[in-house]
A and B are shown apart, each in its own frame.
Chain A
Amino acid sequence: MTEFSVNDAELEKRFQDRVDDEQKIEPKDWMPEGYRKNLIRQISQHAHSEVIGMQPEGNWISRAPTLRRKMILLAKVQDEGGHGLYLYSAAETLGASREEMVEALHEGRAKYASIFNYPSLTWADIGTIGWLVDGAAIVNQISLQRTSYGPYSRAMIRICKEESFHQRQGYESLIALAHGSAEQKAMAQDALNRWWWPSLMMFGPHDAESAHSGQSMKWKIKRKSNDTLRQDFVDQTVPQADFLGLEIPDPDLKWNEERGHYDFGEIDWEEFQRVISGDGMCNRDRVATHKKAHDDGAWVRDALRAYEAKKANKSEAA
């Protein structure tokens, strides 16, 4: 063994000891290349999800039914953009640039939460997304507050507070529908029918099939397995659906006294694969819309740079 690799192994051991000891890893600390890459992948994917998620929800801002609902929705979509910003910054502390991350999104090399490839069709979808999608995000993000990378952990703590707010607002807007007319109630049920399974898919493949899970758990990037998180989500959400008087579209769903959890049916993994690999209804639109806004804005960003450069020149000359 060369001296270099001995040092490397030693560094890696020290790194793992710190992780095991629940110490946070900070940007300037030594870290294995795999840890860095894994984190950049996960954080940028998370950032893209926040940003792409603005589209299905933003789709209803102009049509929100009341002034209050319009403002709540616009502020919510704005928050999601803000989450995108914190997360891009967290990824930047690992040496990734926002330009590169956005380029990877446009070229299809970076993923985002697959649920945003489903269309938002009615007003009830907005409440349902807040309730289920933000709800699922919270379950995942609460566990990520304890992730080993400091900037990511801190971003999660900040983001989680806002997500809980979103989830309550979404649920509250569904209560209005559930207590409303027969049409409104049907609208809410239809939205639940369409968003339930994609929400369960948000937690990813079963633990046994999850490509990055083992190493991520060891490095404490991930703190709970996909299946555990999914179960947490189902357990917390079923009573909420009951309260709304809505029916979860799963004939196998029932309380298991022995396990102390709900049993639920199997996800359609073929659909999961299909949407993840690009064949969902909106995959192409989502990326194309993002890319178009980016390309259309190029002249504005150029102008901003040119103006800043002129200003800097002037203040130098002065």
Chain B
Amino acid sequence: MDNSDQEVQGHQHQQQQQPTNVKVKNQVEVQIGLVGDAQVGKTSLMVKYVQNVFDEEYTQTLGVNFLKRKVSIRSTDIIFSIMDLGGQREFINMLPIASLGSSALVFLFDLTRPETLTSIKEWYRQAHGLNEGAIPVLVGTKYDLFVDLDPVYQEQLSRASMEYAQVMDAPLIFCSTAKSINVQKIFKVALAKIFSLTLTVPEINEIGDPLLIYSAFGNKRSRGAAR
């Protein structure tokens, strides 16, 4: 400090012009858990949504992955904390990490492998059992591969998944991470359900299309909106 030659001058002009912005941004933080069988595309979906990249190659998730994404709209920041649980059976004991504290639980199955839809029963029973307050969302993945399959299979699987959605009282969304179909919608629908916001985006109900059904399911539970 050179206070020696300070006198009146030294201090008087050192005051910098103030940043006049004392504005506060609203912050909304929501945690979302992703569960479902191995290789259904949980990690792919999370990475696509957060980093907007898609990798053909499969890397098994060991334990739990975690990524955050911030969405800024006007005066509000929405922060999605996404928990991705490895689908191998051995990680089932880590289910509480993904489930507890999550406002929404996304149950994923592979549209090309019907047995992964069957597994949803067990995933739902366990994850929902741990956190009944969480909003469930049912998501069928790899729609890009699904559209090329036999129309009869498509119809059967679509109907089956609607039944599951009904029982779970969960919005139903078919998506493709590879082709960027309905990826954002999953998180928008989840947020809308968490805060009971009115959704006006058009639904997609035609069998064979990438289904997006939110008005028929997921309205029984109405959670108290957070701040």
Do A and B come from the same complex?
Answer: no
Instruction: Please give the residue numbers on chain A whose beta carbons come within 8 Å of chain B beta carbons, in ascending order.
Output: none
